Amino acid sequence: MQKSFIQVEKGSHFPIQNLPYGIFRKQKDEEPRVGVAIGDYVLDLAVLHESGLLKIEGEQDDSSIFRQRYLNAMMEAGSTVWKAIRKQLQQLLDEGEASLRDDMELRERAFTKIDAVELLLPVEIGDYTDFYASKEHATNVGSMFRGKDQALMPNWTHLPVGYHGRASSVVVSGTEVRRPNGQMKPPGHEFPIFGPSKQLDFELELGWFVGHGNVSGEPIRLEEAEEKIFGLVLVNDWSARDIQAWEYQPLGPFLAKSFATSISPWVVPMDALEPFRVQGPKQEPTPLSYLEHKKAAAFDIQLDVSLKGSTMESIETFISTNFKYMYWSMAQQMSHHTINGCNLRAGDLLASGTISGPEKSERGCLLERTWRGEEPITFSNGDKRVWLEDDDEVVMTGYCQGNGYRVGFGEVRAKIAPALEM
């Protein structure tokens, strides 16, 4: 197993096998730049490039690609550049490589403790598409609202269902999320009312950034899709269920989803996930030919959700599930997204939709976990939850477990702030 000269604690999400990209700055007035997480440190790629140790082939060999507010410039350089950068970083950080290890002056400039920097939104997001790709989630939600016999809509097993989200309200982990106001129509009311959502929920998801897209009118073929993915992040796609129940017909989610989507700050490259590729669920009926996989396209990523309320002494994990359960793969979602000629662009965010498994403890949102409020969750101090309360803090984490190491995503966390008085 490859090891770095940087000490990486057992259980760390950021060993040399990972090397996720992010945007950081040490002080508020300092220019942001591209960094890579290794153990408890962030490695400044601009400093490393300017030292001559990190090289980019061709005309793009310019440190300005790393002195950016967002990762977009690096993403637009293409997968050949991403792979070359990653390969060099793994060589430079190896415990047996002396060039960076033994240059103490350079190490002092290039490495900073992660807890001493500010991590920023990593990508300038052009468009955001959210899918509905978990069969367990779709079945559970459909059963609640339409009954078991009509749980899945007729199209669900034939295509990845999705909708266009709001890119402007995607925020980085740690950003406070304010409870939204909106219209709701409670049971027994003849007319809708206006006020703060009373059924605020989270959705456990994974998202992936398009690194380089497709020309308008030319779809992305299934076998090419993964090569266009720059990397993955954790996603919490917040939902106001009572607002959504009133507004979604006939066009789907709108204000109930557009107020906030939280993502983790570190973007895990596809190459780091390759050892954890697994076969996904059997798809019946067999998808149409443009969606039919010839290889395994799911990934074994363990995912957990924890909560800490204002009266709870410690945070408690109450949902554990896995990305491998997803019925529709990332590649299938991308291919279907573009089959009509829609062009994806560098920086676009696609998300999986709520990730749920077959067990109750694996349901990835409160709507499912409490079965629409009929089965409240009881925490160790006696607190109960059906929906999120003000000052609740929700934390999501995810990782792949290797032989002696983990490839992790860090976390996405946010606290709920009270709604504005209107």
Residues taking part in catalysis: 137
Contact assessment for residue 236 and residue 265, using Cβ atoms and an 8 Å cutoff: no
In the block, tokens 């443009």 appear at 290
Cα–Cα distance between 390 and 39 in angstroms, integer? 34
User: What does the buried/exposed string (b/e) look like for 111-140 if buried means 16 or more CB atoms within 10 Å of the residue's CB?
Assistant: bbebeebebebbbbbebbbbbbbbbbbbbb
What's the maximum distance between 2 C-alpha atoms anywhere in the chain?
74
- The SS3 call for residue 336 is helix
Please name every residue paired with 118 in a beta bridge, in sequence order, or none if there are none. Answer: 25
Cα–Cα distance between 260 and 238 in angstroms, integer? 6
Read off the DSSP letter of residue 144: H
User: What does the buried/exposed string (b/e) look like for 289-302 if buried means 16 or more CB atoms within 10 Å of the residue's CB?
Assistant: eebebeeebbbebb
The DSSP line for 150-190 is GSS-TTTTTS--EEE--GGGEEETT--EEPPEEEE--TT-S
Q: Is the CA virtual torsion 272, 50, 264, 333 positive or negative?
A: negative
Residue closest to 347 by CA, chosen among 178, 230, 174: 230
Cα–Cα distance between 33 and 45 in angstroms, integer? 8
